[in-house]
Chain A
Amino acid sequence: MSSWIRASGTPNTLAGGQPSTRLRPAWPTWRSPKATAGAAILVAVVLLALLSDWIAPFAPTQMHPADRFAPPGGRYLLGTDFFGRDLWSRILAGYRTSLAIASLAVGFALTVGGTLGVAAGYAGGRVDTLIMRSMDVLFAFPVLLLAITIVVILGAGTATTVLAIGIVYVPIFARIARGPTLVVREQAYVEAARSLGATTAWILRRHVVPNVSTPLLVQTSVNLATAILFESALSFLGLGAQPPYPSLGQMVSEGRPYLELSPWPTVAPGLAIAVVVLGFNLLGDGLQELLDPRLRVERF
């Protein structure tokens, strides 16, 4: 069965290999320096974000009009912005927002997309066609444009950003989940199991899930990275979380008219984004190397 269009991905069978039916290895030992580095960064960032209320020296919306555009150092670790708000505190709060939105969005896509993909792969026939053709239509839209359109309909804000990014990512997860499911379904042992009276649920759990979880896991990590970039792009364009609650992309945007007065309000949040995205990318690459180097990962 060929797909109508393929917007962003190479076929999963480049190497033409067979899926494995063995359970993936019990939690991989971190032999990959990449994965270790990535995980370390992420753990640090997540901790910072979760504990931001306690470790931030100031409230993120608190203004100090006398100290506007202060350079890093002294009282303000990374300096202050147009209103005299501490950049470090805002970045911590922004991390929380970005991570929350990214994980909720990817979680949504994983759940909905994964389910749709497995359903399509396992049920086959008309159901498969219907689901995958719908996914293809979604795939036809450039990613950012689709998200923007959804936000336009639903209105800007945190909740709609989660939904927009989530919806855009659903087709990717659907496609990732479908492939291994299809192959598993054709296997002899599945036929055998069914003839012995095994329920669909049991087959799904015992054979399908182990085979889709690895690629889904790697894809999740990669998509978390792009989701953060995505969310920050949306908030940069003014379509994400609304002021005064800090969001990293919006902070970069706010600082732009005043670059000549002080570059820090723009430079610092951008670096903060890069750090956490780097963490996810390292982790995703590391996982891919560890778990299945043959995996083709959808990048966009």
Chain B
Amino acid sequence: MQRYLAQRLWQLPLVLLSVSAVVFSVMHLIPGDPAQLLLGFENTDPVQLARVRREFGLDRPIPVQYAIWLGRILRGELGTSVRTGRPIAQVIAEALPFTLELALYALVLAVAIGIPLGVWAGTERSRSVDMASQAFVLLGLSLPSFWVGTVLILVFSVRLRWFPILSYPRLVDDPLQNLWSLLLPALTLAVPNAAAIARMVRASMRAVRSEEYIRVAYAKGLTSQAVVRRHMLRNALVPVVTLIGIVAGYLLGGSVVVEQVFAIPGLGRTGLQAIVQRDYPLLQAVVLLVTTLFVLTNLAVDLVYVLLDPRIRYA
């Protein structure tokens, strides 16, 4: 296990490096003059264009340009947003907390809904209830998230007026209102993931339930509840932990749509607006950041998984 850990950690910088290389090359794959892209289309001042070319070494060979760019990123010089002239680091610092909070919130909700649902489905004996729960789960996986979010807004914000429309105070400013206003978007993100978790928990529990030692436990006279608690859950949950980790990673990337529907000023929405406004420096920074977070989350998940079950071999 030690060896595996070391291997993954050692490979991490390589992964991040290749990711950054891909992100960097995107700028050069987009049609148009990179200097103009960096400056923004409305600024055609040749003096500024020349300055940008110098600063980013745009007339030097590509690998040199990449090194220059990477150097700036590592020094924290993320550049300036073309659209607003604000430092990109600032824009990202304002947006990141919303995305992180939303992902975490959705994760908590998904687990809180998915696991009990899966346990219940996994222990129910009745066939029709089982089929109903399966249908429910599949439905949760089939509904598009942007639609779920829109319908939730329609019912709870517009018609019932339980939730404020589109205003999100920061967590540090007004924690209660913040959590309340983010409930609907977090729920929207949570639904498909809760369904996935529930499904896996159910399958796991069913698999475990038929194992020998469970029957032995029943024979020994343990009540149903005790059996569930002591034996089934612990073993059934192992693969689920991985799924949770996968979900966590997915939430980071998948929040773009939900942020758009609910107009949450997070990273996903910032990135989308950067595309629409052709703010390529900002877009680069956002993609790099989100992908890095994604990679780190996956790494953490893999490590936790190995810690939990060292029996697992990798092909």
A contacts, CB < 8 Å to B: 1-14, 16, 34, 136-137, 140-145, 148-149, 152-153, 179, 182, 225, 229, 232-233, 236-237, 249, 252-253, 256, 259-260, 263, 266-267, 269-271, 273-275, 277-278, 281-282, 285, 299-300
Contacts and interface: CB of A to CB of B under 8 A. Distances in A.
A233 B249 CA distance: 18
Contacts of A5: 11, 15, 295, 298-299, 302
B102 interface: no
A46 to B, nearest CB: 17
Contacts of A249: 144, 146
Contact of B260 (A2, A237, A263, A299): A237
A145 B158 contact: no
Contacts of B260: 236-237
B142 A236 contact: no
A294 B272 CA distance: 40
Interface stretch (B22-30, B111-119, B180-188, B213-221): B22-30
A152 B275 contact: yes
Nearest to A156: B275
Nearest to B145: A233
Given A237-B260, A270-B150, A274-B139, A4 B254 contact: no
B65 interface: no
Nearest to A178: B315
B97 interface: no
B242 A10 contact: yes
Contact of B147 (A9, A142, A273): A273
B257 A236 contact: yes
Interface string B142-178: 1111110011011000100000000000000000000
Contacts of B19: 137, 140-141
A54 B147 CA distance: 29
A151 to B, nearest CB: 9
A104 B293 CA distance: 31
Given A141-B291, A142-B294, A237-B256, A11 B312 contact: yes
Contacts of B138: 278, 281-282, 285
Given A2-B4, A141-B291, A237-B256, A8 B139 contact: no
Nearest to B294: A142
- If over half of B's interface residues share one DSSP class (helix, strand or loop), that class is named, otherwise mixed; here it is helix
Given A232-B144, A278-B138, A141 B294 contact: yes
Contacts of B283: 152
Interface string B80-92: 0000000000000
19 contacts: A6-B302, A8-B250, A13-B315, A137-B18, A142-B294, A145-B287, A145-B290, A152-B275, A179-B315, A229-B142, A229-B144, A233-B257, A236-B257, A237-B257, A256-B150, A270-B143, A270-B151, A271-B147, A277-B143
Contacts of A299: 196, 246
B253 A182 contact: no
B78 to A, nearest CB: 18
A285 B139 CA distance: 13
Nearest to A253: B146
A138 to B, nearest CB: 9
B210 interface: no
Given A3-B314, A11-B314, A153-B29, A140 B142 contact: no
B235 to A, nearest CB: 13
B313 interface: yes
Contact of A8 (B8, B249, B299): B249
Contacts of A148: 256, 271-272, 275
Given A4-B15, A182-B315, A274 B143 contact: yes
Chain B CB within 10 Å — which of A225, A260, A300 has the most?
A300
Contacts of A233: 144-146, 257
Contacts of B246: 7-9, 299-300
A9 B315 CA distance: 13
B14 interface: yes
A236 B146 contact: yes
Contact of A300 (B134, B139, B153, B250): B250
A230 B158 CA distance: 27
Identify the interface centre among B29, B257, B272: most chain A CB within 10 Å of its CB. B257
Given A149-B287, A252-B144, 19 more contacts: A3-B314, A5-B295, A5-B302, A8-B249, A8-B250, A137-B22, A140-B295, A142-B291, A143-B250, A144-B257, A145-B271, A148-B272, A152-B275, A233-B146, A259-B150, A278-B139, A281-B141, A299-B196, A300-B250
Given A153-B26, A237-B272, A144 B256 contact: yes
B14 to A, nearest CB: 7
A142 B249 contact: yes
B236 interface: no
Task: For the complex of A and B, list the 5 residue pairs with the smallest distance between their C-beta atoms, beginning with the closest.
Answer: A142-B253, A270-B147, A277-B142, A278-B142, A2-B314
A217 B256 CA distance: 30
Contacts of A141: 19, 22, 253, 291, 294
Contacts of A149: 26, 287
